[in-house]
Structure 1
Amino acid sequence: MKRSAARILREYGPFPGVSSVHGVTFDGTQVWFASGDRLSALDPASGETLRTLDTASRAGTAFDGRHLYQIAGDTINRIDPATGDVLATIPAPGGAGDDSGMAWAEGTLWVGQYREHKIHQIDPQTGAILRTIESNRFVTGVTWVDGELWHGTWDDDTSELLHIDPQTGDVLECVEMPAGVGVSGLESDGGELFFCGGGNSGKLRAVRRPSKEAADVTDSDMRDNSEADK
């Protein structure tokens, strides 16, 4: 298994009125993050919060290319991002509130269950569980990128990003976050960045995804932007 230290390229927040960041997703332009009773859209270049939708949002968030999906207690809501209207609901697999992260891939939703160490692939129309992947760690945020399944984990002061085998659940790669830096939500930008919810820090972080390929955005550029925001 490969191990590396996380390269945090930028921090966003804390944001006014936000005490905790939960689910995170990316619509190709904006980063959406859940913060309890609202979903907010962030411009990752400027760090500016562009829009806010009033909706229950205490766990994972996903985007299917058209709609947002948000875990809200024992249900998952399908939301129109233009209006904030809830268009449909399906049962969340955890039922009692153990569901954590969520992602969209292969036309389905992938929902993490924190204490159960599981990721469920579910039908977005019915909520039926199609398959279950067992992890050996707590599961927070979940994301797919380039055919790779990643999930966050958070236990006391230790948090990591784990690349796991989607068939066996075996950990293939581990990215270790600094001590005390937690990961709640997790989403890829489809390239070289992960966006990580920071739980009760009220922050969102951009973390370099380990890759052999050169990134489009250099570390120095991101650090310069981060320093400028302080």
Structure 2
Amino acid sequence: MTRSKTASADKAPIVHAAEIVREYGPFAGADKINGVTHDGHNVWAAVGAQLIAIDPDSGQLARTIDCAGDAGTAFDGTHLYQITEARIDKIDPATGKVVATIAAPGHGRDSGLAWAEGSLWVGQYRDRQILQIDPATGQVLRTIETNRFVTGVTWVDGDLWHGTWEGDESELRRIDPVSGAVLERLEMPHGTGVSGLESDGAGLFYCGGGSSGKVRAVRRPKRATAAV
């Protein structure tokens, strides 16, 4: 249920209760979800020693890749990217081979990962930042400040969203990519964590559920318009 359909004059964010439409998992041997992405067909999740691909229609595993994954996952239309310790691996999903590696900007403190506009966007959990980096060199191109821990990042229809998780509270937040101001919040149920975030490019977000071992599909709200 939507608590507030329009932002107030003081730019208060629009707030909704997140609508979880489906849960996937837990899967055997996948005790924790560390990162999530979507390749246009399957949902991929980093579960520690593997990347697993989930068919979103059947909920069954479509395939697995032996690949360490400690945090965020992304897909650029051809390759997967996976944060592992202090590096980001570029992976050929057809073969599972690592074809390139760059240093992760947080040196092991990175969280979410997304691909957009030819760049990688990397969440910095404790620093409460999202960094735009060059996918070939790892050079930081831009820093976006936010006011909560970042546990997942995604772009969809020109909007920047990130997951946050502190204690038993977690949210999906749409923020202004220039100022970092919070524009919209989806409040997840109490005790439901968010570890990894990706859009399917349409009406759903996919959220990692941390130690629950689950991936959750959350309905993306239609863009609300602030009152004049």
TM-score surpassing 0.5?
yes
> 2:189 matched to 1:178?
yes
Q: Does 1:48 align with 2:60?
A: yes
Q: Does 1:61 align with 2:88?
A: no
Aligned residue number for residue 130 of structure 1: 141
Q: Which residue of 2 aligns with 1:118?
A: 129
User: Which residue does the alignment assign to 1:77?
Assistant: 89
CA distance in 2, matches of 1:203, 1:212: 27
> Residue 22 of structure 1: CA displacement?
1.1
One-letter code of the match for 1:196? C
Identity of aligned residues (%): 66
Alignment pair present for 1:156 and 2:196? no
Task: Tell whether 2:103 aligns with 1:91.
Answer: yes
User: Tell me, what secondary structure is at the counterpart of 1:184?
Assistant: coil
Shift of residue 121, structure 1, vs aligned partner? 0.1
What is the identity, as a one-letter code, of the residue corresponding to 1:198?
A: G
Report deviation, 1:60.
Answer: 0.3
**Residue of structure 2 equivalent to 1:189:** 200
Find the partner of 1:101 among 109, 112, 131: 112
Structure 2 counterpart of 1:41, which letter? Answer: A
- 3-state DSSP class of the match of 1:187? strand
- In the TM superposition, structure 1's runs of 4+ consecutive aligned residues that sit over 6 Å from their partners are none
Tell me the distance in 1 between the aligned counterparts of 2:72 and 2:101: 14
Please tell me the residue identity of whatever aligns with 1:3: V
> Could you tell me which amino acid in structure 1 is paired with residue 51 of structure 2?
L
Amino acid at match of 1:105: A
**Deviation at residue 212 of structure 1 after TM alignment:** 5.2
Matched, 1:21 2:33: yes
Q: One-letter code of the match for 1:74? A: A
Taking only aligned residues, the RMSD between alpha carbons, in angstroms, comes to 0.9
Q: Residue 45 of structure 2 corresponds to which residue in structure 1?
A: 33
What amino acid is aligned across from residue 55 of structure 2 in structure 1? Answer: D
Task: Tell me if 1:202 matches 2:213.
Answer: yes
Provide the C-alpha distance between the structure 2 equivalents of 1:174 and 1:38, rounded to a whole number of angstroms. Answer: 31
In structure 2, distance between residues paired with 1:70 and 1:212: 30
Q: In 2, distance between residues paired with 1:212 and 1:84?
A: 37
* Superposed displacement of residue 58, structure 1: 1.1
Whole-angstrom distance in 1 between the partners of 2:98 and 2:82:
10
Q: Structure 2: any 5+ residue segments left out of the alignment? A: 1-12
Alignment of 1:168 onto 2:179: yes
> TM-score scaled to structure 2, two decimals?
0.92
SS of 1:200 mapped into structure 2:
helix
Q: How many residue pairs end up in the alignment?
A: 212
Give, in whole Å, the separation in 1 of the partners of 2:185 and 2:133.
26
Query: SS at 1:24's partner residue?
Result: strand
**Partners of 1:212 and 1:79 in 2: CA distance:** 34
Aligned with 1:194: secondary structure?
A: strand
Query: Given the superposition, is the C-alpha separation of residues 74 and 212 from structure 1 closer, same or farther in structure 2, using an over 3 Å criterion?
Result: closer
Q: Distance in 1 between matches of 2:25 and 2:80?
A: 22
